[in-house]
Amino acid sequence: MSQLPDPVRARSFGASAEAHAAHRPGYPDPAVDWALGTVRGRVLDLAAGTGKLTASLVGRVREVVAVEPDPAMLALLRTALPDVEAREGTAERIPLPDSSVDAVLVGQAIHWFDPDHAFHEIARVLRPGGVLAGLWNAEDGRVEWVRGYHEALADGRPEQGVPRGGDRPDLDAGPGFGPVHTAAFEYRRATTVDGLVATLSTHSWALVSTPADRDAAFDRMRRYLASRPEVPAGGFELPMVTRVLRTVRRW
């Protein structure tokens, strides 16, 4: 039996749906193209959130369907992308027929799934030979000053759950899928210190922290960034990396 994700953190995002839509980054075009490969048919964006990845799929493939469990996030997705078929559902209970999609893409969410049920469901809705791909955006923790502000946030307490911005994601979909292929896509995101705080405030560790702990973490980060020449007051470019893991449903 696989270890289940923390249910409190997994359910924390709905309350920040509008902030998530406003401050979370989208996905770079080369990463989305690599995830899709040659797929141009019907694609499911699973755990679609407010539609960050969904928006990148529109126009790339013949048809997009989005599935998201949180009503607040789903409402924002429907407002932003009214022409996309959007349904309420979970990875463990996907509201689609058998063999009905050519690819399942998941942005920033596979680690929240119950793997013993979700990958069986994904295999069910995928056509044989269909693609499953997970995409993860992160600050590039290989960069010294980026790693430094994550350390300032955590303050030596890994249980706080501050992301390290460079950890390798996993995609163990089971025997119904072939080998997993990986790729990484570097890019830079223009932001400010306030903008970075706004983005990090939508992460699960921040959402489940007490206000005092969260404010203290961001105060430490602000003090650290104020000492760095790479972070001028008027704005800066944040090194990012999107990691993509891709596999194919066996025939």
- Give 180-201 pLDDT, tens digit per residue: 999 999 999 999 999 999 999 9
Mean pLDDT value of segment 96-120: 95
In this prediction, residue 5 carries a pLDDT of 54
Quick one: pLDDT at residue 160? 46
pLDDT at 6: 45
Determine the Cα–Cα distance for residues 37 and 43; give it in Å rounded to an integer: 12
Interatomic CA distance for residues 49 and 137, integer angstroms: 14
Predicted local confidence at residue 190, as pLDDT: 96
Question: Is it the case that residue 31 has pLDDT exceeding 70?
Answer: yes
- The confidence band for 161, taking pLDDT boundaries of 50, 70 and 90, is very low
Q: Considering the entire predicted model, what is its pTM?
A: 0.87
**What mean pLDDT is predicted for residues 217-231?**
96
CA nearest to 200, candidates 244, 152, 143, 142: 152
E strand segments, the chain: 42-46, 63-68, 85-88, 101-107, 126-139, 181-191, 236-248
Contact 87, 67 (CB under 8 A): yes
CA distance 79 to 50: 9
